A and B are shown apart, each in its own frame.
Chain A
Amino acid sequence: MRSEEDLVLTMRAAAGQTRLPPDLASGVAGRRRARRARKRAGAALAAAAVVIVIGGISVGTSGQERTIPPAASPAGQEPAASPSSAIRPATEVWPEAVTRIPATDRPVTALSATEVLLYKDERFEVYDSATGRTRVLGRVPAAPSRVAVGTQDIAWADTKLGLWVLPRQGGQARRVGTAAADVYELAVTDGFLVWSGERPGVYRMPLAGGTPELMPGAGELRLASWPYAHAWDAAGNVTRIVDLETGRSTPVAVPEGADRWQCGPEWCTGLVNERPIVQRVDGSGRRTLPRTFMGYGLWWLLDDRHALYRVYEPDVNKAGVPLAIVYDLATGEMGGVGERTPGVEGGDVGRVQDFPTLFWDAGARFYRHCADRSCEIRTRGGGKEYTVLNVAAIRG
């Protein structure tokens, strides 16, 4: 017979012989990115929109974050720091991209300069700020977990893997087919639905229906923004960009030590030594962003060339500090989103899925609520309207 001591020793001996994987940290970073995508995929849109608003940008809720000085950057690369309160509001910098909608509606994404897609009461609707009216596009028979907007159609995956389309002009929803696994990224083109899931591989299905087909050469890719797909390394850094329409494959110059490396077709951003940097896909044009900029979550690109950064502002009581910065990677133009309540390091900015649309309640004030040794940022006031920034409408 054996004793309890034998059990203890056997477990300890086994523990001592574990093979340690070479890079735990990058594995964890990759997981976190996949988790984020999974969370998005799992929640029905109606619930996700609410969650995203609440869980928007809560900067440094711990109150400790601001005491951490930003990491030093190599000499000569540092642009002049721009004071956080000197950043002009996005509503002034890009008035053409701003719409306002009643706060009773939750936007999904902007469709044009004045139109915003809404999902409510199991219907897709379009709010037009020019007329102040809402028009119903059609009923949604199965709640969407992932939505895509194409030139002709709105498409979605429901929570049970069903794939649907509805004409953008309005009409009847039609079930196209069924995906084999959860849909994380979805696009609708003129002839096809295109998507990818948790594991690499970009699939497509004709809008007329059929079975999912792995796109040629896309077995190791994940759909980014149609027609682009990405290859990632184990840590989730984008290493290659493929145009699925032409088959053109472009390697990404990932800097040594890069973290959360993310790219549009021309520009990339990510962290090097904890500082956000920007460079072209081929590695040229590199610059380290001012100290005011901090990464936000795991993926802060909003579209092919704009990114959303958190604001580093050590003076928590300073007035006129935006909640976040939208930054044009190509031109360096920037605009502040929302405004901090002095004394509170954060607030809510909403974004649904990967749509390049941000919305916030300019009338809201924020406060810290602490209980059970943890704090969160809550909102009071506001509730009248959302300011909606359609990043895709920013163009000179």
Chain B
Amino acid sequence: MEEFDEFVRARGDALLRYGYVLAGNSEDAADLVQEALARLGDAWPRVRKKHDPEGYVRTTMVRLHIKSWRRRHREDLVAAVPDHGEPDRYADADLWAELQELPRKQRAVLVLRYYEDLPDHEIAAILGVSRGTVRSQAARALDKLRIIREARVLR
């Protein structure tokens, strides 16, 4: 119990940031993180044995998000990135808004590949799809976002 609480304290912020990139808004991000952490808490003795609670939570979050997470209204989805604090010079508000418009699975693939920096075979394992599906979903999403793919080392 104590260990789990410590994990929540230590990793909560990072998980919320990940949830925000996945879900696109703070409220859904907090929902996702809380639900995933609640599941982790219930499974803690088992998960702790496998030495990767963080992987468990992140996988739970992305699966929850794709599967059933509640869909917010469109007007919420297109809120610009810098809704508070200093606008970041790298933030492309249009790109962020367009990301929200993508189907969930495509968006999740992009988050796992570009934010989590995971190789396609791990993304495939997390999402429970083939590597080919990961590649085609990513390609379709990048096309929609008008992103030119650089020559990627095949991974």
Q: A residues bordering B, Cβ < 8 Å?
A: 1-4, 6-21, 24-25, 27-28, 31-32, 35-36, 60-62, 64-65, 68, 274, 295, 373-375
Question: Contacting A12 at CB < 8 Å: which of B30, B39, B90, B150?
Answer: B90
Chain A CB within 10 A, most for which of B1, B84, B149: B1
Q: Contacts of B26 on A, CB cut-off 8 Å?
A: 18-19, 21
Q: Contacts of B115 on A, CB cut-off 8 Å?
A: 8, 11-12, 15
12 more A-B contacts (CB under 8 A) besides A4-B114, A24-B30? A2-B148, A4-B148, A6-B95, A11-B21, A13-B90, A17-B81, A17-B88, A21-B26, A24-B33, A25-B12, A28-B8, A32-B41
23 contacts between A and B (CB under 8 A): A2-B148, A3-B148, A4-B150, A6-B92, A9-B90, A10-B99, A13-B90, A13-B91, A14-B20, A15-B18, A17-B20, A17-B85, A18-B19, A20-B13, A20-B16, A24-B30, A24-B37, A27-B30, A28-B34, A28-B37, A32-B38, A32-B42, A61-B45
Query: Across the two chains, which residue of chain B brings its CB closest to A21?
Result: B30
Q: Contacts of A374 on B, CB cut-off 8 Å?
A: 45-46, 49-50
A373-B145 contact, Cβ under 8 Å, with A7-B110, A35-B42: no
Query: Across the two chains, which residue of chain A brings its CB closest to B148?
Result: A1
Contact B35 A31, beta carbon cutoff 8 Å: yes
Query: Across the two chains, which residue of chain A brings its CB closest to B152?
Result: A4
Q: B36 CB to closest chain A CB, in angstroms?
A: 9
Contact B21 A4, beta carbon cutoff 8 Å: no
Q: Contacts of B148 on A, CB cut-off 8 Å?
A: 1-4
Q: Contacts of A27 on B, CB cut-off 8 Å?
A: 30, 34
Contact A24 B149, beta carbon cutoff 8 Å: no
Contact A17 B83, beta carbon cutoff 8 Å: yes
User: Chain B 76-89, CB within 8 Å of chain A: the 1/0 string?
Assistant: 00000111110010
Q: Say yes or no for B63: interface residue by CB 8 A criterion.
A: no
Q: Contacts of A35 on B, CB cut-off 8 Å?
A: 38-39, 42
Q: Contacts of B20 on A, CB cut-off 8 Å?
A: 14-15, 17-18
Question: Contacting B45 at CB < 8 Å: which of A13, A21, A62?
Answer: A62
Q: B40 CB to closest chain A CB, in angstroms?
A: 9
List 4 A-B pairs, minimum CB-CB distance, nearest first: A31-B38, A9-B90, A15-B17, A13-B91
Chain A CB within 10 A, most for which of B19, B39, B110, B147: B147
Bound Cα distance from A8 to B39, whole angstroms: 29
Q: Contacts of B33 on A, CB cut-off 8 Å?
A: 24
Contact B114 A25, beta carbon cutoff 8 Å: no
Q: A37 CB to closest chain B CB, in angstroms?
A: 12
Q: Contacts of B17 on A, CB cut-off 8 Å?
A: 15-16, 18
- Chain B 106-155 residues near chain A, CB threshold 8 A: 110-111, 114-115, 142, 145-150
Bound Cα distance from A8 to B111, whole angstroms: 9
Q: Say yes or no for B29: interface residue by CB 8 A criterion.
A: yes
Contact B16 A24, beta carbon cutoff 8 Å: yes
Q: Say yes or no for B101: interface residue by CB 8 A criterion.
A: no
Q: A252 CB to closest chain B CB, in angstroms?
A: 23
Q: B121 CB to closest chain A CB, in angstroms?
A: 19
A1-B90 contact, Cβ under 8 Å, with A18-B20, A21-B30, A28-B38: no
Bound Cα distance from A105 to B109, whole angstroms: 49
Query: Across the two chains, which residue of chain B brings its CB closest to A62?
Result: B45
Bound Cα distance from A61 to B1, whole angstroms: 13
Chain A CB within 10 A, most for which of B2, B38, B147, B149: B38
Q: Contacts of A3 on B, CB cut-off 8 Å?
A: 147-148, 150
Q: B27 CB to closest chain A CB, in angstroms?
A: 9
Q: Contacts of A65 on B, CB cut-off 8 Å?
A: 45
Contact A10 B92, beta carbon cutoff 8 Å: yes
Bound Cα distance from A194 to B9, whole angstroms: 39
Bound Cα distance from A295 to B1, whole angstroms: 10
Chain B CB within 10 A, most for which of A64, A274, A373, A374: A374
Contact B16 A31, beta carbon cutoff 8 Å: no
Bound Cα distance from A21 to B25, whole angstroms: 12
